[in-house]
Amino acid sequence: MKYFTSLALLLFTLQAKAQNAAPSWLEESLYGNGKINTVVIVVAIIYLGIGLWMFSMDRKLSRMEKKLKP
């Protein structure tokens, strides 16, 4: 919990230092909490990518099964 308050403060101060204009939603989500969200997005993309590959492999196998049946 004590990390959280400091992280929130860090976000605020980092933003203030980086630029005076209001941060966009993108910057807010990427830079938030010591940039941990960047890691979250990266890990999510990798899992999604491998998952999509599994899905395509699945479909390929289904197609072959269909061919095999008759």
Name the minimum Å distance from CB 55 to another protein. 12
In the Cβ-directed half-sphere of 54, how many Cα atoms lie within 13 Å? 6
Name the minimum Å distance from CB 70 to another protein. 11
Cα 45 to the chain's mean position, in Å? 6
Contact footprint for another protein (CB under 8 A):
2-3, 5-7, 9-10, 13-14, 17, 26, 30-31, 33-36, 38-39, 41-43, 45-46, 49-50, 53, 57, 60-61, 63-64, 67-68
CA–CA gap between residue 16 and residue 10 (Å, rounded): 10
